[in-house]
């Protein structure tokens, strides 16, 4: 059972009554005190003796064969059979203290004389023997870390009664491996080395929520590179094991170190006894710098001073620059960093980042949030022409890459660190899609910067990196600890979408955007395009198309069909929930009314030189023949409803071949020539295809005979991807049958069927341009494999529930 005692030990620690005035310089080697277990047994016996005698609790602390100090014990804790913990002060020596903690084979402790700057440290060797040896006091405790010149704490702005304080709950990285609690609401501290083991009842800071927020922001940014959750929440702090947490008490009660700005024991982060560190300044800048400094000590950092002039804390007031090291005194400069002693006459070159992230404290760096290469670049979130992004530079070598596409024009971006108390000095570098660097953007004298460039259409990559400023030895700093938070915002002219639907990560068409052409997208297909599972919140759909969202992969589960853009899927029901972040697979397909118009040759508004005759083509009726070079037909008033890509189909026959062309408005827009193959006869028909781009509008559409010797049955103009309509279409915008659609069209391999009725038991036939059946079978699966068909025009016949359906044409 664990036992704790205040003022309850009268013991002889390794015997030998020697003068408390003995003072030796820290030059002697380590002195062995014997095994840790023997020492624990002695302490337990002596504890019982002290209690029986009701004597003044003292121990004699031997530091060499000829020297020992008498210590008064103020606190003792029995750490079960294998451990003891004693804390107190050296008798009759003001400003002195000692602590000794033995747990199994682990030993730690010290003896400190603040006035004479003398100190000793306890440790254990590999065989379990306790060692004591002289130590540099600054390697054990932060001593004489003074407040800024002329500093006075602000008057308390809140009721300083601890029971009435309610501090805002803040966390910098929930779930991080380590935790630092900034304790603003007062704390009763007992059983620690502070105040020589005597209790301290620390008053609340008296700070406002706004001041606490700013204080927390400063400390959080200093520890941003690490897996460290800087919090103000007691419950969060208590959720961490004692070996992975540190309490930093912000209070005007300076009992732990009178006159200092703050104080901490070095390496105490993982002491497993909740020994806190202290800050006695309540202004956000001074107090925040002190908190980062003292917590740094608990993670093993020593002071950054100078050799010439000799000083323990380098505050850089003599420098013209704007930088100081955190482990010096950062009160006077706007930029403070962790350091490795690159400034002139540095007293040490410890690698702050390596020490704090090392295995000793098991905190480590936080996970990298963006790729360090172009190949894994994160797409900037887009809302129209506005783009945004954010991240953290965690390590000196970290470089975060982002991608954006543009239709061309002026790109203007703000690359910003946090609004106050930032550490990251940002440099941005711009690259082409091939990886060629085309610009570097760094505003000297400012942590943030801007990017402005006139770019051509294409995809570009933005690298965010931490950079240096000035000369690190005199007035600046290197990029060593230029780390922390950044954000990206600005405008990039939006690219012309290559898809007919665009899905967005967030509502209101914001967040990562991915354009999708018509087709079917399983979860794997979506992920290959950067769309995560259950991560679609809004989408846009071009006219003539629809998007079908499925709750599960492979087009299964609940489904939602959208025929128009939707700014937030929260409002669409999915059972008792909604469709926000629910889609796992989807289909982009023609909507129920897609544009397709068939222009019968004999119905042309203008005929110059051609003659109508009866045709034996599959649709019957008439064709135009006796075509000579220079002949033409014109159909007036053809309405194209939307801008986009269109397929022109010429239904032609020719014994020896020829050349046809088409245009809009008497040649104002020409679509170029198309070769007519030799089909073998005047009534042996084939379809010649040409894809063009047409803007929305009403036109006079014409065809022109570049050479003669061919017949024309009809011309069809279809919005690319639209399901074509069967039946007696004439020179007008045809409407799709409401009960049956096929897609994609044109098709490469899998032709899909969408019907309002079940396809179970249905059968199909596919006919070529001459009416020959080239494929047949069951259509129950809702998709037909047409990969083996030759390129050309085909007709699909379906029989559903014993009824012959209207035929559908498609292009392979």
Task: At 65, list the tokens.
Answer: 């064969």
Q: 431 is written with which tokens?
A: 């690259």
**Residue whose C-alpha is closest to residue 178's, from 277, 244, 248, 275:** 244
Per-block mean pLDDT, blocks of 10 residues, the chain (812 long): 40 33 54 86 72 76 90 84 85 92 88 93 90 93 89 73 68 95 96 93 95 97 97 96 97 95 96 95 96 97 96 93 96 97 96 96 94 90 87 97 91 96 97 92 95 91 96 95 97 76 85 80 81 87 82 84 82 59 84 69 90 83 91 87 83 92 88 90 88 85 94 86 31 36 77 77 74 76 83 77 71 74
**Domain 596-719 CATH class label:** mainly beta
CA 245/CA 226 separation, integer angstroms: 13
As given in the structure block, the two tokens for residue 433 are 């899609």
Any idea what DSSP says for residue 494? P
Three-class DSSP category at 595? coil
Cα distance between residue 264 and residue 195, in whole Å: 12
Q: Can you tell me the distance from the alpha carbon of 656 to that of 678, in angstroms, rounded to the nearest whole number?
A: 4
Q: Which one is the CATH code of 374-491: 2.102.10.10, 2.60.120.380, 2.30.30.90, 3.20.20.70?
A: 2.60.120.380
Give the DSSP per-residue string, 202-219.
EPP----HHHHHHHHHHH
Is the Cβ–Cβ distance between 99 and 77 less than 8 Å? no
Residue 343 corresponds to which tokens in the numbers above?
């400034």
For the domain covering 178-357, report its CATH number: 3.40.390
- Pairing state of beta strands 409-416 and 538-541? unpaired
**Eight-state DSSP code of residue 331:** T
Q: Give the bridge partners for 265, in sequence order.
A: 141
CATH 3.40.390-classified regions of the chain = 178-357
Domain with CATH 2.60.40.10 in the chain: 740-811
Cβ of 188: how many Cβ atoms within 10 Å?
A: 9
pLDDT at 725: 28
How far apart, in whole angstroms, are the C-alpha atoms of residue 485 and residue 400? 11
Integer angstrom CA distances of residue 58 from 109, 118, 142: 17, 21, 26
Return the closest-CA partner of residue 347 out of 371, 333, 369, 328: 328
| CA 249 vs CA 172, 285, 288: distances in Å | 18, 16, 12
Residue showing tokens 């971006």? 413
Q: E-strand spans in 706-772?
A: 711-719, 740-743, 750-755, 763-767
Question: Where would I find the beta strands (DSSP E) of 626-710?
Answer: 632-640, 644-653, 658-664, 669-676, 685-694, 697-705
Residue 27: predicted pLDDT: 54
Phi then psi for residue 269, to 5 deg, are: -55, -40
The CATH number of domain 501-590 is 2.60.20.10: yes
- If you ran DSSP here, which 8-state letter would residue 139 be given? G
Size of the chain in residues: 812
Residues of the chain with CATH 2.60.120.260: 596-719
Q: Within 13 Å, how many C-alpha atoms sit on residue 565's CB side?
A: 13
Query: What is the bridge-based pairing of β-strands 378-379 and 399-406?
Result: parallel
- Nearest-angstrom CA–CA distance, 565 and 501: 9
Pairing of strands 96-103, 83-90: antiparallel
Enumerate the CATH 2.60.120.380 domain ranges in the chain, comma separated: 374-491
pLDDT value for 437 = 95
Whole-number pLDDT of residue 162: 45
Q: Please name the helix (run of DSSP H) or strand (run of DSSP E) that holds residue 51, with its range, or none.
A: helix 36-53
Taking the C-alpha atoms of residue 363 and residue 358, their distance in angstroms, rounded to an integer, is 7
List 649's β-bridge partners, or say none.
689, 716
Question: Which 8-state DSSP code applies to residue 723?
Answer: P
Peptide bond into 309 cis (omega under 30): yes
Rg, the chain, Cα only: 40
Phi, psi values for residue 242, rounded to 5°: -60, -25
| Complete DSSP assignment for 345-405 | TBS----HHHHHHSTTTT--BPPP-S-SSGGGPEEPEEETTEEEEEEEE-STT-EEEEEEE
Integer angstrom CA distances of residue 67 from 18, 114, 116: 6, 19, 17
- CA dist 162 → 159, 195, 261, 459, 543 (Å): 8, 20, 22, 57, 64
Q: Can you tell me the distance from the alpha carbon of 327 to that of 266, in angstroms, rounded to the nearest whole number?
A: 12
Residue 530 CA to chain centroid, in angstroms? 14
Ramachandran angles phi, psi of 597, nearest 5°? -135, 130
For 509-550, the DSSP string reads TEEEEEEE-SEEE-HHHHHHTTPPTT---EEEE-TTEEEEEE
Do 632 and 608 meet the contact criterion of CB atoms below 8 Å apart? yes
> What CA dihedral angle connects 208, 212, 215 and 219, to 10 degrees?
170
**Gap between the Cα atoms of 179 and 231, Å rounded:** 7
pLDDT of residue 17: 32
Query: Which among 300, 330, 336, 293 has a CA at the least distance from the CA of 315?
Result: 330
Judged on CB neighbours under 10 Å (0-12, 13-18, 19+), 260 is buried
pLDDT of residue 770: 56
Q: Is 349 left (phi over 0), alpha (psi -120 to 50) or beta?
A: alpha
The fold of 740-811 is: Immunoglobulin-like (2.60.40)
User: E strands within 456-528?
Assistant: 458-466, 484-491, 501-506, 510-516, 519-521
Q: What is the pLDDT of residue 540?
A: 87
Calpha distance 448→419 (Å, rounded) = 9
Residue 39, helix vs strand vs coil: helix
Determine the 3-state secondary structure of 448 from DSSP. coil
Task: Name, in order, each residue with C-beta under 8 angstroms of 807's C-beta and a sequence gap of 6 or more.
Answer: 726, 727, 795, 796, 797
Q: What pLDDT does 497 receive?
A: 56
In 3D, which of 294, 292, 289 has the Cα closest to residue 316? 289
Residue keyed to tokens 């899998």:
750
Q: Is 268 helix (H, G, I), strand (E, B) or coil?
A: helix
Q: Which two tokens stand for residue 517?
A: 């052409």
CA distance 199 to 222: 31
Determine the pLDDT at residue 571: 63
């Amino acid at each position: 059972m664990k036992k704790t005692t205040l003022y309850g030990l009268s013991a002889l620690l390794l015997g030998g009554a020697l003068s408390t005035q003995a003072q030796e310089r820290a030059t002697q080697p380590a002195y062995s005190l014997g095994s840790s277990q023997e020492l624990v047994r002695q302490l337990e016996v002596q504890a019982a003796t002290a209690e029986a005698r009701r004597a003044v609790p003292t121990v004699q602390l031997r530091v060499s064969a000829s020297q020992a100090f008498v210590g008064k014990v103020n606190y003792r804790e029995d750490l079960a059979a294998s451990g003891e913990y004693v804390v107190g002060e050296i008798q009759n020596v003001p400003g002195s203290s000692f602590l000794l903690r033995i747990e199994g084979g682990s030993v730690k402790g010290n003896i400190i004389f603040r006035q004479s700057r003398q100190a000793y440290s306890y440790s254990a060797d590999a065989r379990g023997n306790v060692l004591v040896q002289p130590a540099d006091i600054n390697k054990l405790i932060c001593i004489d870390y003074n407040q800024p010149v002329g500093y006075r704490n602000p008057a308390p702005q809140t009721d300083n009664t601890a029971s009435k304080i309610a501090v805002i709950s803040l966390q910098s990285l929930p779930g991080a491996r380590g935790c630092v609690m900034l304790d603003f609401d007062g704390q009763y501290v007992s059983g620690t080395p502070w105040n020589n083991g005597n209790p301290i009842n620390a008053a609340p800071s008296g700070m406002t929520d706004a001041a606490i927020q700013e204080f927390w922001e400063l400390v959080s940014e200093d520890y941003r590179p690490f897996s460290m959750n800087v919090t103000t929440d007691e419950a969060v702090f208590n959720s961490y094991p004692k070996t992975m947490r540190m309490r930093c008490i912000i209070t005007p009660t300076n009992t732990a170190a009178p006159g200092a700005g703050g104080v901490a024991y070095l390496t105490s982060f993982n002491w497993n006894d909740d020994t806190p560190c202290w800050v006695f300044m309540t202004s956000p800048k001074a107090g925040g710098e002190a908190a980062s400094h003292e917590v740094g000590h608990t993670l093993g950092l020593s002071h950054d001073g100078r050799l010439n002039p000799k000083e323990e804390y380098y505050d850089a007031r003599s420098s013209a620059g704007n930088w100081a090291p955190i482990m010096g005194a950062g009160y006077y400069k706007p930029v403070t960093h962790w350091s490795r002693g690159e400034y002139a006459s540095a007293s040490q070159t410890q690698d702050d980042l390596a020490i704090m992230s090392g295995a000793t404290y098991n905190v480590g760096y936080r996970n990298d949030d963006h790729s360090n290469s172009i190949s894994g670049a994160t797409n900037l979130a887009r809302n129209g022409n506005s783009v945004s992004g954010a991240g953290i530079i965690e390590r000196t070598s970290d470089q975060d890459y982002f991608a954006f596409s543009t239709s061309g024009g002026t790109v203007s971006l703000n690359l910003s660190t946090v609004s106050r108390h930032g550490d990251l000095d940002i440099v941005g570098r711009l690259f082409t899609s091939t990886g060629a660097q085309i610009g570097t953007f760094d505003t000297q004298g400012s942590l943030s910067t801007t990017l402005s460039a006139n770019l051509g259409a294409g995809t570009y990559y933005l690298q965010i990196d931490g950079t240096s400023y000035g000369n690190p030895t005199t007035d600046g700093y290197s990029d060593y600890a230029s780390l922390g938070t950044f954000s990206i915002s600005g405008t990039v002219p939006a690219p012309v979408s290559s898809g007919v639907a665009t899905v967005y990560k967030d509502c209101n068409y914001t967040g990562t955007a991915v354009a999708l052409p018509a087709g079917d997208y399983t979860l794997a297909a979506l992920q290959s395009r950067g769309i995560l599972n259950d991560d679609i919140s809004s989408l846009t759909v071009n006219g003539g198309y629809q998007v079908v969202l499925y709750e599960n992969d492979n087009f299964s589960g609940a489904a939602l069909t959208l025929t128009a853009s939707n700014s937030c899927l929260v409002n669409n029901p999915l059972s008792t929930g909604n469709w926000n972040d629910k889609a796992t697979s989807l289909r982009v397909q023609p909507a129920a009314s897609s544009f397709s118009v068939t222009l019968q040759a004999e119905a042309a508004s203008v005929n110059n030189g051609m003659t109508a005759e009866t045709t034996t083509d599959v649709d019957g009726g008439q064709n135009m023949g006796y075509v000579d070079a220079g002949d033409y037909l014109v159909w007036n008033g053809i309405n194209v409803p939307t801008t986009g890509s269109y397929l022109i189909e010429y239904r032609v026959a020719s014994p020896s071949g020829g050349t046809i062309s088409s245009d809009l408005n008497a040649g104002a827009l020409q679509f170029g020539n198309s070769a007519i193959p030799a089909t073998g006869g005047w009534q042996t028909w084939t379809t010649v295809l040409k894809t063009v781009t047409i803007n929305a509008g009403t036109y006079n559409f014409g065809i022109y005979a570049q050479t003669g010797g061919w017949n024309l049955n009809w011309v069809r103009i279809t919005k690319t991807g639209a399901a074509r309509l069967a039946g007696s279409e004439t020179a007008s915008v045809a409407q799709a049958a409401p009960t049956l659609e096929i897609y994609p069209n044109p098709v490469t391999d899998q032709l899909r069927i969408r019907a309002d009725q079940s396809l179970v038991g249905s059968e199909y036939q596919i006919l070529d341009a001459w009416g020959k059946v080239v494929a047949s079978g069951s259509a129950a699966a809702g998709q037909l494999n047409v990969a083996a068909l030759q390129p050309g025009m085909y007709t699909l016949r379906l029989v559903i529930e014993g009824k012959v359906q209207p035929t559908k044409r498609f292009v392979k």
